[in-house]
Amino acid sequence: MTNETLAQFPEEAKNEDSAVVFGFWMYLMGDFILFAGLFATYAVLRNNTFGGPAGSAIFNLPFVLIETLVLLTSSFTCGLSLLAARKGEARRVVGWLIATVVLGLSFAALEISEFTRLVMAGNGPQRSGFLSAYFTLVEVHGLHVLIGCLWVVALIVAISIRGLTRSNMRKLALWSLFWHFLEIVWIFIFVIVYLLGVMYP
């Protein structure tokens, strides 16, 4: 919406914002269902190791903890960028967003190194039903993180060019919902895949 029409139809603009946010929530709920399908698949195939390694043999908990901390920190910087946005400090917003994207990419890099290690040891996703389910679940999350990073980069460019316009504020809010959603999914992965995988082989 252009600023001119915004001034002309303020009530409609407000309604549009709330519709977009609600719509995005609906998308997130749908995405949750997608992950629920992958989690269910993982739960079914968890013990189908087909002579390959079980989770307890290949999961490196301290490493995963580092990954988790990196992702949680990125959630914190994401929150700080929103706080700065509320105060109207565009430069700070961009700064925190850059921090978030760096952390997000570090998380992705850690994950890729973990996967490389597994594949090199012959424990790739083709090895067994369990590993197919494990790789797919975690990779789909990782793919979401990469999409989130791409989105932040676009946001950084948009905010640098146009500042904290109404439409940029809205995009920032949506992206932060997305980013926190990924945190929540990761917590489930951490608990259900890694912790339970090591505790109950």
The CA-based angle 62-195-28, given to 5 degrees, is: 105
Cβ-based neighbours of 50, under 8 Å, separated by 6 or more: 127, 128, 129, 130
Question: Residue from 10, 14, 22, 117 that binds other proteins (CB under 8 A)?
Answer: 22
Q: Which stretch binds other proteins (CB under 8 A): 6-14, 94-102, 112-120, 190-198?
A: 6-14
Distance of CA 23 to the CA centre of its chain: 18
| Distance, CA of 107 to CA of 187 (rounded, Å) | 14
Nearest CB to other proteins, comparing residues 129 and 194: 129
Instruction: Answer yes or no whether residue 9 interacts with other proteins by CB under 8 A.
Output: yes
| Contact (Cβ atoms closer than 8 angstroms) between residue 166 and residue 6 | yes
Identify the burial level of 133 via C-beta atoms within 10 angstroms of its C-beta, where 0-12 means exposed, 13-18 middle and 19 or more buried: buried
Q: Which stretch binds other proteins (CB under 8 A): 53-61, 127-135, 178-186, 191-199?
A: 127-135
Q: Which stretch binds other proteins (CB under 8 A): 13-21, 55-63, 94-102, 188-196?
A: 13-21
Residues within the interface to other proteins (CB under 8 A): 1-2, 5, 8-9, 12, 15, 18-20, 22-23, 26-27, 29-34, 37-38, 40-41, 44-45, 48-50, 52, 125-126, 128-130, 132-133, 135-136, 150, 154, 158, 167, 171
